[in-house]
């Protein structure tokens, strides 16, 4: 991936070098997104499975008729907490998988995806998707990682300049772009200052 440094000016002329910009298709990358290359989120899956096992063990303990009084209350409280943790982690995993699938498909339709595919950056894009999905669930550390990877992948205008990428102008967009009216007396007809005049 390109290093970080000052962004080159898109049409700058230098005496000893020229800045070659890579034109990306305005319509984006065509076709289906590549297959998802990463494993499931092993950390979240392990935390969920551990919470589920703890809840199951505590349920067995609660089935003991000899368990009474404060001890039973304490075990019941732990069982409730383990069940709640299992439910939260299960919901987090489901949400993360849904967001990852949606974002993966969206990213591979962008103009930048043409260059990612050419360079073989499947895992880098997938790692960005993983961090971004976690960030959307409130993980601030994941948000920082996603921002850094997003810069490396050219997902912001400044990052695209650093990578020397630009989106080609769309022919349809050029056709519908309004033309400027010619200036009259040094000012365009739609300029509100044209109605002003000097009072002597």
User: Is 10 in contact with 166 (CB distance < 8 Å)?
Assistant: yes
pLDDT value at residue 175: 45
Backbone angles phi and psi of 175, in degrees to 5: -65, -35
Confirm if 35 and 87 have CB atoms less than 8 A apart.
no
User: What share of the chain has pLDDT > 70, as a percent?
Assistant: 75
pLDDT tens digits along 86-100: 999 999 999 999 999
Sequence-separated (6 or more) residues with CB below 8 Å from residue 26: 111, 167, 168, 169, 170, 173
Mean pLDDT of 96-124: 95
- What pLDDT, on the 0 to 100 scale, is given for residue 197? 55
Return the SS3 of 160.
helix
Mean pLDDT of 56-76: 91
Q: What is the pLDDT of residue 176?
A: 44
pLDDT at position 112 is: 95
- Both tokens assigned to 25: 């298709």
Higher-scoring residue by pLDDT: 3, 100: 100
Check residue 10 and give its pLDDT.
60
The pLDDT of residue 71 is above 60: yes
Residue 58 pLDDT greater than 70, yes or no: yes
How many Å apart are CA 147 and CA 79, to the nearest integer? 38
% of the chain residues with pLDDT over 90: 65
The beta-strand segments (E) located in 90-193 are 165-167
Confidence band of 114 (pLDDT split at 50, 70, 90): very high
């Amino acid at each position: 991936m390109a290093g970080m440094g000052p962004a080159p000016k898109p049409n700058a002329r230098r005496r000893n070098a020229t800045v070659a910009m890579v034109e990306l298709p305005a319509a984006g990358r065509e076709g289906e997104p590549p297959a998802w290359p990463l494993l499931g989120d092993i950390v979240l899956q392990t935390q969920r499975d551990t919470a589920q096992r703890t809840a199951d063990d505590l349920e067995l303990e609660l089935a003991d008729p000899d368990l009474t009084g404060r001890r039973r209350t304490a075990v019941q409280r732990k069982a409730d907490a383990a069940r709640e943790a299992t439910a939260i982690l299960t919901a987090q995993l489901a949400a993360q998988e849904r967001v990852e699938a949606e974002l993966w498909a969206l990213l591979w339709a962008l103009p930048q995806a043409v260059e990612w595919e050419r360079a073989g950056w499947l895992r880098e894009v997938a790692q960005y998707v993983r961090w971004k999905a976690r960030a959307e669930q409130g993980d601030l550390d994941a948000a920082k990682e996603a921002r850094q990877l997003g810069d490396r992948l050219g997902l912001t205008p400044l990052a695209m300049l650093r990578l020397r990428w630009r989106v080609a102008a769309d022919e349809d967009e050029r056709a519908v772009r309004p033309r400027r009216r010619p200036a009259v007396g040094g000012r365009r007809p739609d300029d509100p200052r044209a109605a002003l005049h000097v009072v002597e």
